[in-house]
Copies of this chain bind each other. A is one copy, B any other.
């Protein structure tokens, strides 16, 4: 069963190897876990529902405390602290689970008639507060799209698949795989996040180099709005005015509820493999990545860990003997302290992959890259969706972990990366309550474009003696660093969306007139602001 207060399935636990524990203790000190609240105790706090009864929708709505608890939060660190402490603050007044577009229409009519706020809910994996209800005078109804989780149609000729918007990643891929196809969209939240959520939040997957971001995969579909049904026809490309799809991508529930998603799919590849290359230093490694992507070398995936992430990953990997041998070999070949690990993916026909592998190796070696084959790459692929489970393991040891991510142009990557890491590494010391605390901070680049790349920074710090102080520490790090990002040519999010957590930072990025355009779009479709209020736009 799914964890009610953390990530993923209760049955699955990741253990941190002893070596990893001592590595962390050296860097930020030993952790002391906080006490978790029980599900029962939280359910007792759930107030009576304020939803007015309505025969047209009553059968769709569940107002039981446990369901409302399980839909009250996403996976951001504040969500996590709320779930662990049991201090949720606000619960939705009920959870609807529609099974068709028509039922979604009914819910919209009900919401308008009864002045109810609606929060669309996909996989509940938001790390930016998209689905967290805020205190409101209006009742709040969360709409869980999980009942609409089927492959509705597959057009093999046009390679377009139609899915119910609530279909989670594994069901997307397994239903396509049965026909020999793949979507190829693999965000880290893949196990739980849904295809509708990907569209609503402009998601990006680990193999976006080949398959594109969700913007490139989303071919059309159906959105239920308060003004009626918005049908987005599938057209390969068009110059007929602004693209309405692009107004739905990233609309985060403010325009309407996405019920059907049509996506561009691909035949399952003949070959796929992941390869690891080590570089002696960051400059060489980063330049190799830039060269690969600006050369249009057709990799399916590319990821570059900086020296601290490389060191951390090797320390946390277990198998100290094997890793020791690897490091010895690398050291002999010139990659010692400061070495950076690159992983690249090859996907396609055997002919394509063989040609691209040659080219990628040649470019890497121009930048002093040491090619180590597919062994570590295979490990990466096996564990690619398990990293969120590490948060649980760290939590049990008294550590909080969170990430900040952005994207910026190449000329600004090092500058922004440096600012972010410094801000996170030194931020705790700026508050007197955490003057002696340190954060362990490391970064990788994981989505590459000719113009620039994403920057994904992880930070680990000890939980404080209380939940409140732990939250305050996080809030300080998050706010100061987010402000730095948008003031320094970064986007407030490359792949997690805006939600409520990032909404205060959006105006710097979009500018006054950009915000005017977005606000006008939302108001046109939802003049009373009952759809996911305070999300995207404060």
Contact = CB atoms under 8 A, between A and B. Distances in A.
B513 A155 contact: no
Interface stretch (A6-14, A314-322, A516-524): A516-524
A16 interface: no
Query: Which of A233, A408, A410, A502 neighbours the largest number of chain B CB atoms within 10 Å of its CB?
Result: A233
Interface in A349-376: 349, 351-352, 355, 358-359
Contacts of A511: 230-231, 233
A250 interface: yes
Interface residues of A, number: 94
Interface in A497-525: 497-498, 502, 506, 509-514, 516-518, 520-521, 524-525
A240 B160 contact: no
Contacts of A491: 235, 237-240
A538 to B, nearest CB: 12
A521 B522 CA distance: 11
A36 to B, nearest CB: 31
Number of copies: 2
Interface stretch (A82-90, A111-119, A293-301, A335-343): A293-301
Contact of A238 (B210, B219, B407): B407
Contacts of A407: 235-238
A150 interface: no
A334 interface: no
A30 interface: no
A285 to B, nearest CB: 16
A235 B453 CA distance: 9
A425 interface: no
A267 B239 contact: no
B204 A492 contact: no
A252 interface: yes
A355 B351 contact: yes
Nearest to A298: B298
Given A234-B451, A521-B520, A155 B411 contact: yes
A203 interface: yes
Nearest to A246: B246
Contact of A497 (B201, B239, B264): B239
A193 to B, nearest CB: 13
Contact of A204 (B160, B237, B351): B237
A239 B250 contact: yes
A241 to B, nearest CB: 4
B159 A450 contact: yes
Query: Which of A232, A241, A410 neighbours the largest number of chain B CB atoms within 10 Å of its CB?
Result: A241
B518 A157 contact: no
A514 B295 CA distance: 38
Contacts of A210: 296
Interface in A294-337: 294-298
Contact of A351 (B247, B266, B359, B410): B359
A496 B408 contact: no
Interface string A183-227: 000000000000000000111100000100101000100000101
A512 B225 CA distance: 12
A462 to B, nearest CB: 30
Contacts of A203: 239
Nearest to A451: B236
Given A237-B407, A491-B238, A516 B512 contact: no
A219 B490 CA distance: 14
B244 A250 contact: no
Query: Which of A204, A298, A452 neighbours the largest number of chain B CB atoms within 10 Å of its CB?
Result: A452
9 contacts: A158-B412, A201-B239, A235-B489, A235-B509, A239-B498, A240-B498, A243-B250, A517-B525, A520-B524
Interface of A: 155, 157-160, 201-204, 210, 213, 215, 219, 225, 227-244, 246-252, 264, 266-267, 290, 294-298, 348-349, 351-352, 355, 358-359, 407-412, 447, 449-454, 489-498, 502, 506, 509-514, 516-518, 520-521, 524-525, 536
Given A241-B536, A243-B250, 19 more contacts: A157-B290, A202-B238, A202-B240, A202-B241, A235-B407, A238-B407, A238-B509, A240-B492, A241-B498, A241-B506, A242-B246, A244-B517, A246-B247, A264-B450, A349-B359, A352-B359, A516-B524, A517-B521, A520-B520
